[in-house]
Structures are given as structure tokens and as C-alpha cells.
Structure 1
Amino acid sequence: MPTPPRRTVLLCTLAATVALLPALPAQAIPRTTAPPTPLRFGDCPASVPTPPTPERVECGRLSVPLDWHDPQSPHIEIAVSRIPASGTPAERRGALVVNPGGPGGSGLPYAVTKRAKLPASVRRSYDVIGFDPRGVGRSAPADCGPMGGLFDAPGDDPVPAGATAENEYLGALRTMADDCARQSAAALPHLSTEQTARDMDALRAALGQRRTNFLGVSYGSYLGAAYAALFPHRTGRMVLDSVVGPWDWYDFDALQSRALLRQRNTFFTWVAAHPERFELGASATATRRSYLTARRELAEHPVNGIGPAEFDRAVYRALGRTERWAPLADGLRSYLRTGNPDPFRPATAFDGPDSRNYEAANRIVKCADGPATTPHRILTDLHRMRRLDPQPILTGMEASACAYWHHRPAHRTPLGSPDAPPALLVASEHDPVTPIEGARRLRPLLPGSRLITLHDDYSHGVFASRGNTCVDATTAAYLTDGTLPTEDVHCAGPGLPAVPQQTHS
């Protein structure tokens, strides 16, 4: 298997090429995509998992202009993966492009991991196509350097209290924006979702497909809606799972923060219902008190590089999937008993290359997609959040950095089109990461679309993720035969998670 080029070389190449790009108005973007050279597939980098035999995964690279305003400008390469359909020629439905979310998520390995969870009928029908969006992974990866201290361990408290702390909080956001401009100034205007949607259409043409069939999860739903806006007549069967609504990114982040507070209260109540198992209190109030004690102690005395920022990141991650609730509660109990904060340590190093690229791409894409907020709005919303709860979770407020961004987009990313075919939207009733309001708000922008709701569910990511037969069978039928349900579909969910048996070391 060939050794992939070093990430630093890609970054240097990106910086060198984009410095020559002119800035043209948005309306100069061509409405069509020139046919690219057909993709040639070969071995994949080691970061792409090997699917089970007899399936195979193959990888290629697609050359696209960094600036779709000017297709003759210098090009970058998009890393692509493919797992061929396993069915007969009669069963084949073409290619299904998948995106895992973010922005900043790598799709190159996701094609393998997601395909393994898809219903057999979908695996038999489609070549599953993954790709690293521009700025991500092996597609001209973005870099923002230290990002205003984001990777410091322990990090500063992400919930400032008082004027001095608030000014320091804003200062860190300004420094983050400065760091991104210093490291990736020439790339900032060109790593938008709209540009990535145009890459997707070039990918469609390179694969020899008339239309793009697409499965997008979380941010992937936003990317899919952007593709439908730009290329409605080339949009095929589209599944948008855990939908990001048509808000500016800062407004979405604020909505998510409020949903996380609701989810955390549900978590406290769930933990309190099992006092013998978790020993954090027999009421939601007592459980909350244990939680606040752990956070306060880590804020006052960080241990082994873990402080309030790391604690909040662990909580943010756990609240999004109910199978992580018991480990979070066990970690709280363990820390309060022993003072060992390791349960709050991320599974992968936060300062690793993948994490650094993810965080950089996340901010750059969000800030390239539309209007920015203001420092005054950030502080106003911070005060509002603290009135709702003195200890909010602000980990997902990535678009706050856009208040100081060095490149301001001229327009917001368009989403949906009345000329696009109806899509199938999927949502969990109590998803705190992409609240169900997003699906309800996006649907009118894709007229005729249907919504599958998994009721009594509290997790992020639904289709081929929650193991729900109603969701998976309905979605698989749409992908394989193209028929939307005649009306919205309501599926019974699992409810609050069962409590796993306690294990003591």
C-alpha cells in the first residue's frame, strides 16, 4: 500500500496555489460543471479500514479548482473512496455518496464504516462513495495553528463568569480568528459548503452518474441541501439524517446549546432514578449537585491536563448518544471518589493531527457559509444562557469565532430548491445535537419531502445507527425503489437507556 503524502506538503502546496487566486463576485460562479477526467481507483491509505471479505475498498483522487469562481485557477485534489455494490447487475442503482457530518468530518473511512451498518438491500444496490471534503483529512487539509489556545491542556474555562473572564473569552476568539488567517488566509473564502457541493457535482460527473444519490448525517444534511439548491436537476435520492436547519451557523449553535441543557436535565433525572447503580444522588437536584461539584473541583484544581474545558467536552460528547450516559455517570462517581479525572479524557488525543484539522475545518467552513455574529451578541447570548442555567455547555459554539473572521462571505449558503426532487428526512425526537426543529424548518425548502421521526429517542444519528427496524426499512425501501412514503412516518423509539450492569475494577 503506497505511503500517502505528508500533510505538511499538502498544506504548503495549498498555501502556494491559492495565493494566486483572484476574488470574483458570487454571481460569477458557473452554473454547470465541466466534465472531469474519470476517476482511477487503487489502493487506500492505512487510515481507511479494510471491509470484510469479499468486499473491497478502493481510493482515488479528484482534481477540482480551489475556487469555483474561476475553474481555470490552480487545483486541489479531493480524496475519494469506493466500496462497490455487492448485488447483481439488475439490483444496481448506481452510486450513493455519504458524508458523516462536522463540518470537518472525514468521509474517506466513513464509506467503509457506514456501509457496514447499512441494510443489505442498500449494500447490494449501491457503490458507497466517501470523500474528504475540501479542507478535511487528505483533501488539502486546513490548519489554524494553535487556534487561540484551543488545544492547551488544561484549557481555559469555556464558560466565562464576570467582565474580566468575558473579555478574555472574546480575546481568545479573536486570537483564534487571527491564527486561522495566519495559517490559511488564502484558503478561507474557498472552504465553504457551497464550494464543497460543487466538488460533489464534479464527483458525480467523474463517476459517470446522471444524478447524485446522497446520504448525509448531521452537517451532511446541510451539505445535501446545499447541493440540491445548486443542482436541483442533478439531485437523485437524498436521505438527510439528523438535520441541521436553515439557520446561520451561530444561531444553530445557540439552539444546540439550549437543547443540550434539556438533555442534561434528562440525564440527571435518569441517573437519579438509579441511585444504587450510580451513587450520585436519589434526585435530579442531588445528581446535578454531584455534577457541579466535579466540574468546580476541576476548574479550581485541574489534574493531569484535565480541567473544565476537557470536562465540558466529555459531557458534550456523552449527551449526544444515550449509550454514553452510563460511562459518564460512572466517570463522575469515580472522580468524586478517587480524584482520578481519566474518565473525562478524550478517547483520542485532542491535540492529534486529525483533531487539529477537524477543529480548523469546522470553524473555517462555518465562517465561510454566511453572516457572522457580533461580540455584543455573543455576550448577550452568554448572559441569556447563564440565566437559563448558571453552568451551560458552550462546547458547540464554534461559530462564535466568526465574529472576528478575516474573510466575510458576501452571501449565505443557499439550501433546498423547489425544483429538486423531494427528499427523505430522518430525525430523533430528542436529539440534542441537531434538534428536530431543524428537519421541520428545512422540509419546506424541499417541497414534497417526508419526515421520519424516531419518537422517544434521545440520540444523534438515526438511520443505520439506532438499529430501529421501522426507520431502517422505510429508508432502505426509498433508496432501493425510489418511492417516498405517502405521508410522514412515525417510528417508536427505545425510550431512555437501560442501565448496564455495574462493573468494578
Structure 2
Amino acid sequence: MRSRSRTGILLTLSAAACATALTAPAQAVGAAAPHTGSLHWGPCAAKDSAPGSECATLPVPLDYRKPSGPAVDVAVSRLRSERPGARRGALLLIAGGPGGSGVGAVAQEGEKVRKATNGAYDVVGIDPRGVGGSTAADCGIAESDRQMVDFRAWPRPDGDISEGVARARRIAEACARNGGDIVRSLTTRNEARDIDSFRKALGEEKLSAVGVSYGTYVGGVYAQMFPERTDRWVLDSSVDPDPARVGRGWLANMAPGAEESLPDFARWATDPARGKDRIAERPEEVRPMFLALAAELDRKPRTFKDTGHRLTGNVLRQSLQLSLYDPDRYPQAAALIRAARSGGDGPLTAPDPFPEPLPQRDAAVFAGIVCNDGSWSRDVSSYERGVAADRARYPLTAGMPASITPCAFWKGEPAEKPTRITSRGPSNILMVQNLRDPSTPYRGALKMRAALGDRARLVSVDAGGHGVWLDTGNACSDRVVSRFLVTGQRPAGDTLCAAEGQRSK
């Protein structure tokens, strides 16, 4: 089920995080009171839409405390069950991100999901406010501040974060100056409310859902706010739900996640089956070789022929960190490493992994949600100390997960406290999680599992990469999730699906 909708936590797919709008162009915040009672479905406009899929626009309150006040539009879509007699409800695909498109998920994955669930559902999606075909979010952030390795605040080779501090301040000021009410309204709790407005407009008493990556937090928050409206609920690749670490903890977990995932890449990249494309003879050689190569690029960057951008140590680190999400990306990571190790000072023919800056929407949605959702330290020295400790403990990510974000300079305090996910609610949640996930590592999923208590069962999968259902090629986990969605049957207790080969090319 891998696609851009499976965007890993915090803009991991760069410009791919937001799907192309599949409905009418997004509108500005409206002054009229919203009416969420009906949807006017029509054919989806995008050429990659699933055959038979329908799209619509749903007005929802900008501020749910003022339901008759200004409205924003959210784009929605559905792919009806091909077996009406078997239909039991609607299955919502909650995309990752923040910034993933649920409408894009239906377009790209809906047919596969419909087949896996034997027509038991209309497969539906929603573009969160700010995303895709919904009312746009835009902070007017300078292009130079939206380059991937800058927006994610990689420290300098010596650990200095002063450039990141200045950039974080500029981004926060741009959002305060240009973001308006729509950026201030970007929260996970509002996304959950928008989902419930969509449920009502669909005429469904309850929803089933599959939330992926950050979408597991959205799904968990919805299940806490509207437990009686959940039917069969799947959380795939769960984040740490600790309300004291919302956003900040998700970033921090990337550091151990990369370290735990690297051995999978190392085994692949040194397999004799790779032939001339092997990057080392033995798996244990890959980590020290990579660290030495990144350090060399810190001192003497190379240049990409296709874009003229520099290949620095941090670009190499960022590229590997993202490649660990999906073994299908291993060949690109290995090719970049081989190119960087090649002799000479001429331009690199390997493609630039980050040729374009993050789109404005991606940047604004990231900043809005993670900064509005929780409280962040405003003490710059605390980030300096955190980066120093993180660099020493997790050199693959060189301190980036502990570095400063625009949230340190965000204007205003969160309008609401983060949601505490608890064991109070129906026992209708199935979690599925790879043991070696570089983005939402297993340790965070265990915290989600503990928070949910008897509401959930956890299926652990002996695999690497980010995303499980219809994604790893693991027949055991696919079977368990699909059976639950179709029949409601879950394992009696937490269970493990053994490794079933490698899903990479």
C-alpha cells in the first residue's frame, strides 16, 4: 500500500508529501456558516484517480467553538464497494505526514484496499485542511528555507545549530505574518473533528479506518474523542502518543530508528546477488564506511551534475535516512554512496535526491500541526545540549532529530492541550508494526500499545521499513489485518509475524 499517502512522519517524502489536488482548486477561508449535511459527488479530476472514484468538497468550521462562523473546505473522495451486497460501511484511509493526502490515498491505493477487503467497504479519504484540494495553508516561507536538509535543521559538521536557529525563527515569523487563521487552525484534534464531520456527511453511524504513520496519531486521537463512532480501527506504524512529547518525541525517535534499521540495508547492500553494485564485502563494514564518507563530504562536498546542488555529508545522511523507509529505495541509496566514493572532483552523475524545495503547503502544514499541537522549549541552549548528546549516541543522524524547529519561536500558545490516549473505549483496535521502522520505531509503538490497554492488539512483524499492511509483502500481517477488517476477528493477544523474505527490488 506504499505511495505518497504513506508519507513518513514529518515530511519525509519532500515534495511527494502532498498529492495533486483531485478536486476543484482550494478556496480561501470563507465567511459563510458551514453546512455539513450533504456531499455533491462528481468524477475526480486527476488522471491517476481510480476508475469509478468520486470526489466532493465538504465545508467545515474553521473553529469548532464557533460552528456558525467562517468555514474552510476539505476535499474528500470515495471508491464505492464493487459488491454492494457485501458492503458493511466506509473505510477511511488516514494518510501520514503531517501533510499526506487521503484523497491521494484513495486514488492510488483504493483499488488494492477494496480487493483486500472483498468489497466490504466504500474506501474513502479526506485531505486534511491545508493539504491537497482542501483550503490551502501557506506561510510564505522563503525557498532557501524550504530545502530539505535546511528545513529539517541538520546541524553543521561541528554540531553548531546557529544557522538552524536563525532559520527556525524566520519560518515561525513567516507563519505568524502570513499563515492567518488557517495555519492557526491546523491541529490533530481539528483533523479528528473534520473526519467526524465527514462521517456525518456520509451518513455513517460509525467509521472503520486504517491510519498510517502520523495517521496513527490522528486515528488514536479520533478514537479518544469519538470512541462510539469507531468500528474497526487499524493503526499501522504507530507514533509515540505521549502528550508531553507530541511532535518533539516523533522527531527524536528517528535517531534510534535509523540505527535499528541500518542493518537491513547493510545486509542487502553487501549481498553477493548485488554483483558490481555491492558497496562493501560484509554488512559490518557498511556503517563505518558510511560515517567516514559523510565526514569526508562534510570537509569537501561534491556537486550534482543535474542540479548544481552540493552533495554534503548532511545530504548523504538525509538521503540514507529516507531510503531506510522502503527497501525499494535501497538501490538509489547504494548508487549515491557509490557515486560519492568515486574518485575525482568532477560533477556527480547520480541524481540529486532533493532537487526541489518542499512545497509551501508541506512546510506550513508541518509547522502548523507540530507547533500548534504541543508545547516546545524556547530555550535555545536546551537544543544545543540535545544535539550534542544525540550526535554522540546516534551518529547516523548527526543530531538532526534533536535540533531546533520553528516551534521554539512559535507565536502564541496551543489552543488546546494534547490528547491523552487511554484505555477507555471499545476494544476494536488492531495495531501492526515492523520491528525495525526508521520513522516510527517499535519503542514508540509499544507506548501506543500500553496507552490503549485492552482496546488494542498488536501484531509485530519481523521486518524493516515504514508501513506494513499491503506493503511489506508479509502474508501473515496482511492476512491478519484484512481478516479483521472483513470479519472483525483479531488475535486473542499480541502476536508476531515472522520474516518472509525481502520486499526490495
Structure 2 matches for 1:462-501, cutoff 5 A? Answer: 462-494=468-500
Calculate the TM-score normalised by the size of structure 2: 0.84
1:144 aligns with 2:139: yes
For residues 417 and 269 of structure 2, the distance between their equivalents in structure 1, rounded to whole angstroms, comes to 45
| Change beyond 3 A, Cα 1:94–1:467 | same
Structure 2 matches for 1:333-348, cutoff 5 A? Answer: 333-337=338-342, 340-341=347-348, 343=350, 345-346=352-353
Partner AA of 1:267 in structure 2: F
Of 190, 196, 199, the residue aligned with 2:194 is 199
Describe the superposition over 1:47-82 as per-residue Cα deviations: whole angstroms up to 9, x where unpaired.
x6232xxx4111001110011121111001110011
Of 73, 78, 83, the residue aligned with 1:82 is 78
Alignment correspondent of 1:259: 257
For residues 200 and 148 of structure 2, the distance between their equivalents in structure 1, rounded to whole angstroms, comes to 45
1:208 aligns with 2:212: no
2:232 aligns to what SS in structure 1? strand
Alignment correspondent of 2:441: 435
For residues 331 and 436 of structure 1, the distance between their equivalents in structure 2, rounded to whole angstroms, comes to 28
> Are 1:456 and 1:495, in contact at CA under 8 Å, matched by a contact in 2?
no
Of 407, 418, 437, the residue aligned with 1:412 is 418
1:445 aligns with 2:435: no
Describe the superposition over 1:269-291 as per-residue Cα deviations: whole angstroms up to 9, x where unpaired.
65345485435333556534543
Alignment correspondent of 2:361: 357
Calculate the TM-score normalised by the size of structure 1: 0.84
For residues 424 and 474 of structure 2, the distance between their equivalents in structure 1, rounded to whole angstroms, comes to 31
Of 165, 174, 181, the residue aligned with 1:170 is 165
| Change beyond 3 A, Cα 1:496–1:42 | closer
The CA deviation at 1:417 is 5.0
For residues 82 and 173 of structure 2, the distance between their equivalents in structure 1, rounded to whole angstroms, comes to 48
Structure 1 window deviating more from structure 2 (332-341 vs 79-88): it is: 332-341
The CA deviation at 1:399 is 7.5
1:470 aligns to what SS in structure 2? helix
For residues 194 and 398 of structure 1, the distance between their equivalents in structure 2, rounded to whole angstroms, comes to 26
Alignment correspondent of 2:64: 68
Of 326, 329, 333, the residue aligned with 2:331 is 326
Structure 1 window deviating more from structure 2 (212-221 vs 278-287): it is: 278-287
Alignment correspondent of 1:382: 387
Alignment correspondent of 2:219: 224
2:310 aligns to what SS in structure 1? coil
The CA deviation at 1:296 is 4.5
Unaligned runs of 5+ in 1: 22-33, 501-505
2:218 aligns to what SS in structure 1? helix
Structure 2 matches for 1:272-287, cutoff 5 A? Answer: 272=270, 274=272, 277-283=276-282, 286-287=285-286
| Change beyond 3 A, Cα 1:6–1:238 | closer
For residues 415 and 395 of structure 1, the distance between their equivalents in structure 2, rounded to whole angstroms, comes to 28
Structure 2 matches for 1:239-250, cutoff 5 A? Answer: 239-247=234-242, 248=245, 249-250=247-248
1:67 aligns to what SS in structure 2? coil
1:50 aligns with 2:49: yes
1:103 aligns to what SS in structure 2? coil
Partner AA of 1:239 in structure 2: V
> Are 1:189 and 1:407, in contact at CA under 8 Å, matched by a contact in 2?
no
Structure 1 window deviating more from structure 2 (390-399 vs 407-416): it is: 390-399
Describe the superposition over 1:454-497 as per-residue Cα deviations: whole angstroms up to 9, x where unpaired.
43301110011112221111111111122222122211123566
Structure 1 window deviating more from structure 2 (222-231 vs 434-443): it is: 434-443
Alignment correspondent of 2:231: 236
Alignment correspondent of 2:301: 301
| Change beyond 3 A, Cα 1:162–1:396 | closer
1:238 aligns to what SS in structure 2? strand
Once superposed, what is the RMSD of the aligned Cα atoms? Answer: 3.0
Unaligned runs of 5+ in 2: 1-20
| Change beyond 3 A, Cα 1:420–1:454 | closer
The CA deviation at 1:35 is 8.0
> Are 1:458 and 1:496, in contact at CA under 8 Å, matched by a contact in 2?
no
| Change beyond 3 A, Cα 1:140–1:35 | closer
For residues 242 and 357 of structure 1, the distance between their equivalents in structure 2, rounded to whole angstroms, comes to 24
Partner AA of 1:260 in structure 2: A
